[in-house]
Chains A and B, each alone.
Chain A
Amino acid sequence: MWRFLMTVIRRDLLLAARRKGDWLTAQFFFIMVVSMFPLGIGADPEQLRRVAGGVLWVAALLASLLSLARLYADDHRDGSLEQMLLSPQPTVLLALGKAIAHWLIFGLPLLLIAPLLGMQFALPLEAILVLVASLAIGTPVLSLLGGIGAALTLGLRGGGTLLTLLILPLYVPALIFGAGAVDGVLAGMGAEAQLSLLGAFMGMSLLIAPWVTAAALRVSVD
């Protein structure tokens, strides 16, 4: 069981390492979307600070959708998804492993980029730390819930766009708590409440999403 999970994760990391261009796209998309905002709304530091949490979080949601579209699509196309589904190991573990691998490839680098972008948005150090903490707790939610959408839209025409329609509404709590944490600390109210709620949401996603993703994969491959 453990070996299966590790194989799934290691396999995806290996594939990502062989194709660096693929996953860097999502990171650069994140950076670019965030950088567009000062150009659009003006460079007043006060204003930037106010919108920073929301902008970074919305950009993270969009970037995750960009990378999730391919989470299962490539494996579906070359037939390896079928092989994975036929494994004697439970499909839930496959879904969990894929989500973990996606987070390592997509979410983790985001945590490293976010402080730099936070500085561009004139965030104080304290708020940057909370921003990183909120992304650390919140981005796994994006990988987990997004996996459901990726599995449901497998092999459909316009799957990527459809994925956005299905999954963005489900992301709402993560966005509110995540961006709210940054706002909370800026307003001097602390961010513990938001971060704990975000943590609870993450825990729930972790419990439910792999099962639903597994069921969705079975439905989509049938």
Chain B
Amino acid sequence: MQLSTHDLACQRGDRRLFSGLEVCVRAGQLLLVQGGNGRGKTSFLRLLSGLGEPEAGEVRWNGVSIASAGEDYQQAMAYLAHANGVKDDLTPVENVQVQAGLRGQRVSCAEIEPVLVRMGLAACLDLPARVLSFGQRRRVALASLLLSGAALWILDEPLTGLDVRGVAEVEGLLREHVQGGGMVVMTTHQSLQLQGVEIVPLQIGPVMLGQMSLPTDVAERG
């Protein structure tokens, strides 16, 4: 299982955000995408998810371009964007159920509720998401992510809106997922406590200068 980019370039309007990006993540690794605001972190994640179309180059899943891998890739990948994708008029349980249905999966309430409880939403299972706080909605989205069973998580700022306990829980989830043989690609502005997790850092920006810990896995060009 591996996700790699080849000569990837991204352009937003007139600006070339990055080009010639080559990076590779394997099972049991966490790719931590870093860079200041407006450097193209979100654009990079969207390219990885397949929502965006690269200006040049391609993203490959197990050596096959994600455009051709199609369903296989989408089955194995879950993407948590800035927006939570949580419908205001549905309860957390319904939200998670709909999300699973959209992935073509069927999950029962009995499976969903423990996950929501684990995410600290025990008190609001029957409330419409409208009345939840931003952080609580983020937790609903994270519960969907957990239940998706995807091997690759692409997370855009998963910690925004979460309280201290929430951050710790997410750290726990990440550790569990990666150590269980999963893969994570994520961005964050907060510092993470992830002992025992193999982290691949990637500095993103017009000129790719980075501090690479795994030279064999991560090649980069400016």
A and B directly contacting (CB within 8 A) = yes
Chain A contact residues, CB within 8 Å of chain B: 1, 3-4, 6-8, 10-11, 14-15, 18-19, 77-80, 82-89, 221-222
Contact of B88 among A1, A78, A221, A222 (CB under 8 A): A78
With A80-B86, A82-B51, A85-B51 known to touch, is A7 a contact of B74 (CB < 8 Å)? no
Q: Report 6 cross-chain contacts, Cβ distance below 8 Å, ordered by A residue.
A: A3-B106, A78-B85, A78-B86, A83-B79, A87-B103, A89-B103
Could you give, for residues 84-125 of chain B, a 1 whenever the CB lies within 8 Å of some chain A CB and a 0 otherwise?
111111100010001101111010000000000000000000
Chain B contact residues, CB within 8 Å of chain A: 49-53, 71, 74-75, 77, 79, 81-90, 94, 98-99, 101-104, 106, 128
| Chain A binding surface, main DSSP class | helix
* B101 in contact with A88 (CB, 8 Å): no
* B74 in contact with A80 (CB, 8 Å): no
With A18-B89, A78-B87, A79-B84 known to touch, is A222 a contact of B53 (CB < 8 Å)? yes
Give min CB distance, B53 to chain A, whole Å: 5
CA distance A17 to B181 in the complex (A): 42
Contact of A222 among B51, B82, B83, B104 (CB under 8 A): B51
* A15 in contact with B90 (CB, 8 Å): yes
* A83 in contact with B51 (CB, 8 Å): no
Q: Which of B84, B90, B98 has the most CB of A within 10 A?
A: B98
* B88 in contact with A86 (CB, 8 Å): no
Contact of A86 among B74, B84, B87 (CB under 8 A): B74
